[in-house]
Structure 1
Amino acid sequence: MKRLLVWIVSALCLTVPLLAQSNKLIKELESKRGSLQQQIAETESLLKNTKKDVGSQLNSLAALTGQIEERKRYIATMNNDVESIDRELNNLERQLGKLRRDLRDKKKKYESSVQYLYKNKSIEEKLMFIFSAKTLSQTYRRLRYVREYATYQRIQGEEILKKQEQVTLKKKELQQVKAAKVSLLKERENEKVKLELQEKSKRTMVANLQKMQKGLQQEISKKRREANQLNARIDKLIAEEIERARKRAEEEARQAARREAEARKKAEGGTRSQSKESGKRGSDDASDAASTSRRKAEPLESYSMSKADRELSGNFVNNRGRLPMPISGAYIITSHYGEYAVEGLRNVKLDNKGIDIQGKPGAQARAIFDGKVAAVFQLNGLFNILIRHGNYISVYCNLSSASVKSGDTVSTKQTIGQIFSDGSDNGRTVLHFQLRREKEKLNPEPWLNR
């Protein structure tokens, strides 16, 4: 009896992980959805706006579009989760079927052994079977057979108990996963209803803006002029920073070439005889000078970064897709990178050299990676910051204050300034963010971890 209890406990220990595996999957999926759900809930307050002028309406349209994109992304995540749960359900169904087949086989074997024992159940019959042997070795083999068969029967019974417990737990696991799927499908339907309401609100907003086409074109032209002014200033500062980096690299190359030439001369001087040295001094000096000149001329054209900058650039590239958002708290992306038409509005095209990220009033701008502040400048009363990460430069615009200065070293996620909140536009708080590889403009979104 004691042995039987030990086997049952062992069976329970083996079957608990089966249930934990599906629970872990469900919890992981819920955790991923939870962060997206929280993000959507927190950014819904950003959509509240009562002003009716063109600029405010256009900003509200951008915020609503960003919110719709977030909700679509959330629904897409739920669709993927439903597929993952379906795969898990199919896997569980297969496992349960196999367990049931194994249980039936074990029960049949156990039933056969019980029937055999029932036919030979008396102790006398067993003793007669053992002692009717003709030799001593045959007696021993028959005794061992009786013992082994009894052990076999006990093990069969214990395996049936273990397999029965596995079937029971697998059924429970299957029920839990099915319940999770039902809950997820219901949540998805609710999100689809919310999405339809938001898209309806967007259509209404677009219709109102279409009635103000003249004012809309004027607002777009104003935004374009401001963007061109900002980008021209950024381009100029980046060109200056690239030139400074080139000069640092040139100086580093000169020093390396000088050290190498000095070391070579010292090594060669130790092996020359005094007589040969005096005879060849003029030609050797000329050769060394020419060699040093070549070493200086060749790398200076190819070097654009110092060793430290090259290492920082490599680390930056290795973190593509994992860089933190450059804004603290809840956010929505209201304008994407590149040139695109505003949906529903005729002849309204936007050309963004970065992305616009709207947050809550009080949101902070933060560095996306380790680096050095290349420039801090003001334009139209607002601060803008450039941070160099090797030959990559991140740009943070539309700040009411800056907490760093040019030359400062910053670390990943360090706060660098307060994002401006427009009191005349319901506290609208938008960070304009750009990413450059030297002079090349990059789409920041693939680099950020969303």
Structure 2
Amino acid sequence: MNSRFLLLLFAFFLQASPLLAQSNKLIKELENKRGILQKQIAESESLLKTTKKDVGSQLGGLAALTGQIEERKRYILAINNDVESIERELTSLERQLARLQRELKDKKKKYESSVQYLYKNRSIEEKLMFIFSAKNLSQTYRRMRYVREYATYQRLQGEELLKKQEQVKHKRQELRQVKSAKEELLKEREAEKAKLEEQEKEKKVLVANLQKKQQGLQNEINKKRREANQLNTRIDRLIAEEIEKARKRAAEEARREAAARKKAEEKSADKTTASATPKNTTAPVEAFSMSKADRELSGNFVNNRGKLPMPITGAYIITSHYGQYAVEGLRNVKLDNKGIDIQGKPGAQARAIFNGKVAAVFKLNGLFNILIRHGNYISVYCNLSSASVKQGDDVTTKQTIGQIFSDNSDNGRTVLHFQLRKEKEKLNPEPWLNR
């Protein structure tokens, strides 16, 4: 009986000790997730400097500030989600504590009853009289066993009471720690909201300054639109050429497979019979758009949607999103981005988002642009001051492919323009990237 009880006691403590660790683990996981976002925000704050007063610089500064505001809102949203998780944990802990306290109260009552019973029948003489007043030997044995087991029962009741008190103590400690974590989180949220409010004010001032320069602003937008159209026309032409190359590779592969099949059939079949019932084993060229290798690479690329690395090294802010949208606060200022613009620190490198082959490297307005094929997907990296790969090179995920141009006349502003295509179809890159 004693050995079994010790095993039960040991098992209880093995089970009870993780109770505290469980909430600590949740808090730690939430802290780690927030830590990544917090580091990203802290590093990207250094990208917000705008010293020049010209429209182009201020427009770039507005884009960077808007991106930083979005990042901070995303961080505050993460804090809100973490607060909700901790509140759910608190509710669960409070229910567990209430249940333990009810169980403790119940065990105290049972223990008090057993103590009172023993007190009433406390003398050795009374126990002996109870045993020896039995009518026969069998009854005597049963009464002896009853006295012994009741004593053991009372001891176990006491030990169970101590265990339950220890459980209540641990649960209260766990509850205090989670409440403390929640209080710290709420303080952090208020601090982030204050920073966000300051940045919103700064943005209003910047927008007001730009509104006073409407003509210069429109000229700058038109200039950027012309440059973007020129770049996209070149990219579209190169992608069309790459699609045609892929189609020819696939058609040639199909022809080789058909020829091999035909040769094998001719060896195993009678030539006369074969000539009497000709078989068309070669499919039309139009039926093939990708080789087996390209299909496999495309499948792997699709399977990594949402997990692809950012195409830039170091701290970054997304300053312009995919698609058509108006710039908040500026009338008649509409942008149409075929990809996304990502601002980094001076010296930042562009890097491949997945394994692939360099389809093209070309220069436009003095800057390099690189296209990488991943099956029938193509990633595009623009605005590079140098390229470290050439057409035909195989690249691997996260391999650096060139340095992003830093504009020394604009406080070293460093912006990568990144696009993603599925053949000729333009895709929004953000859902594909791991942020």
TM-score by length of 1: 0.93
What SS does the corresponding residue of 1:401 show, helix, strand or coil?
Answer: strand
Aligned to 2:266: 265
Give distance in 2, aligned partners of 1:242 and 1:295: 25
1:176 aligns with 2:166: no
Aligned to 2:359: 374
Contact persistence 1:238–1:439 (CA under 8 A) = yes
Residue 8 of structure 1 deviates from its aligned partner by 6.5
Give distance in 1, aligned partners of 2:265 and 2:9: 79
Residue 55 of structure 1 deviates from its aligned partner by 0.3
Unaligned runs of 5+ in 1: 270-276
Residues 406-417 of structure 1: pairs in structure 2 closer than 5 A: 406-417=391-402
Contact persistence 1:103–1:160 (CA under 8 A) = yes
What SS does the corresponding residue of 2:289 show, helix, strand or coil?
Answer: coil
Alignment size in residue pairs: 433
Residue 148 of structure 1 deviates from its aligned partner by 1.8
Aligned to 1:388: 373
Deviations 1:265-304 (A, max 9, x none): 22224xxxxxxx6xxx2x622533xx2xx33234x32221
Contact persistence 1:15–1:165 (CA under 8 A) = no
Aligned to 1:210: 211
Letter aligned with residue 52 of structure 2: K
Aligned to 2:148: 147
Give distance in 2, aligned partners of 1:337 and 1:7: 62
What SS does the corresponding residue of 1:400 show, helix, strand or coil?
Answer: strand
Give distance in 1, aligned partners of 2:163 and 2:22: 19
Residue 425 of structure 1 deviates from its aligned partner by 0.6
What SS does the corresponding residue of 1:25 show, helix, strand or coil?
Answer: helix
Aligned to 1:419: 404
Letter aligned with residue 361 of structure 1: P
Give distance in 1, aligned partners of 2:335 and 2:369: 21
Contact persistence 1:332–1:357 (CA under 8 A) = yes
Aligned to 1:63: 64
Residues 271-282 of structure 1: pairs in structure 2 closer than 5 A: 281=272
Letter aligned with residue 336 of structure 1: H
Letter aligned with residue 434 of structure 1: Q
Deviations 1:216-235 (A, max 9, x none): 00000000000001001110
Deviations 1:378-410 (A, max 9, x none): 111111111111111000011111111111111
Aligned to 2:233: 232
Give distance in 2, aligned partners of 1:310 and 1:27: 41
Q: 2:274 aligns with which of 269, 280, 284?
A: 284
Q: 1:337 aligns with which of 315, 322, 326?
A: 322
Letter aligned with residue 258 of structure 1: A
- Name which of structure 1's ranges 218-227 and 122-131 shifts more when overlaid on structure 2: 122-131
C-alpha spacing 1:253/1:7, structure 2 compared with 1 (3 Å): closer
TM-score by length of 2: 0.96
1:352 aligns with 2:353: no
Contact persistence 2:51–2:410 (CA under 8 A) = no
Aligned to 2:111: 110
Give distance in 1, aligned partners of 2:415 and 2:64: 10
Give distance in 2, aligned partners of 1:427 and 1:24: 42
Residue 11 of structure 1 deviates from its aligned partner by 4.5
Letter aligned with residue 444 of structure 1: P
What SS does the corresponding residue of 1:297 show, helix, strand or coil?
Answer: coil
- Name which of structure 1's ranges 121-130 and 180-189 shifts more when overlaid on structure 2: 121-130
Deviations 1:143-189 (A, max 9, x none): 22222212211211111111111111111111111111111111111
Aligned to 2:311: 326
Residues 183-202 of structure 1: pairs in structure 2 closer than 5 A: 183-202=184-203
Letter aligned with residue 287 of structure 1: T
Aligned to 2:19: 18
Residue 6 of structure 1 deviates from its aligned partner by 8.2
Give distance in 2, aligned partners of 1:153 and 1:405: 84
What SS does the corresponding residue of 1:295 show, helix, strand or coil?
Answer: coil
Aligned to 1:221: 222
Deviations 1:229-258 (A, max 9, x none): 100111011111111111111111111111
Deviations 1:181-232 (A, max 9, x none): 1111111111111111101010010010011000000000000000001001
Letter aligned with residue 45 of structure 1: S
Aligned to 2:431: 446
Aligned to 1:272: none
Aligned to 1:405: 390
What SS does the corresponding residue of 1:395 show, helix, strand or coil?
Answer: strand
Give distance in 2, aligned partners of 1:286 and 1:340: 65
1:434 aligns with 2:424: no
Residue 5 of structure 1 deviates from its aligned partner by 8.7
Give distance in 2, aligned partners of 1:137 and 1:314: 81
Contact persistence 2:43–2:315 (CA under 8 A) = yes
Give distance in 2, aligned partners of 1:423 and 1:218: 22
C-alpha spacing 1:335/1:6, structure 2 compared with 1 (3 Å): same
The alignment's C-alpha RMSD in Å is 1.6
Aligned to 1:33: 34
Unaligned runs of 5+ in 2: none
Percent of paired sites with the same residue: 78
Aligned to 1:273: none
Contact persistence 1:400–1:420 (CA under 8 A) = yes
Residue 136 of structure 1 deviates from its aligned partner by 2.1
Give distance in 2, aligned partners of 1:10 and 1:158: 14
